[in-house]
Homo-oligomer: A and B are copies of this chain.
Amino acid sequence: MSRIHWEDFETGEVIDLGEYEVTREEILEFARKYDPQPFHTDEESAGDSIYGGLIASGWHTCAMMMRLLCDAVLLEAESMGSPGVEKIRWLKPVRPGDTLRGRMTVVETRPSRSKPDRGLIRSHWAVLNQEDELVMTMEGMGMYRRRDSASS
């Protein structure tokens, strides 16, 4: 099967990124390493917080979303990384036992102005939970090799 290049994305296209099961153990492991605020690392403190129980770090939700994007798109694509993302919104807490679902909508495709071997894809990412509630949204920028570039 041919690998995904920049030309293969179409504005308006919606890509289902699959599901991710969120476990208590993984919430704790990520948070102890990178975001040890009590509502991410301690069941009891979390229960007394405004969140009423343990919740995942927002950065952990980004990381889980990234894994979905890798498995659904990037590992089959001529991805060249990303210059950045915009407008991350953590809309609802992510809790142990949640099943997250990712969805990417292509918003814009354009060739790179400075580098003829690649193009840019701007996309809207949505993460929903098992109740179909949006838990996170953001806008991502991705660089992909062009099929007609010399080195592809």
- Chain A interfacial positions (CB closer than 8 Å to B): 30, 33-37, 39, 49-51, 57-59, 62-64, 66-67, 70, 74-75, 79-90
A-B residue pairs in contact (CB < 8 Å), sample of 7: A35-B63, A39-B81, A50-B80, A50-B81, A84-B88, A85-B88, A86-B88
The answer, among B49, B59, B80, for a CB contact under 8 Å with A63, is B59
Residue of B nearest to A50 (CB): B80
Contact present for B84 and A89 (CB under 8 Å): yes
**Complex copy number for this chain:** 2
Q: A58-B82, A59-B62, A63-B59 are in contact. Are A37 and B88 (CB under 8 A)?
A: no
Write out the residue numbers on chain B whose beta carbons fall within 8 Å of the beta carbon of A64: 34
Closest residue of B by beta carbon distance from A77: B37
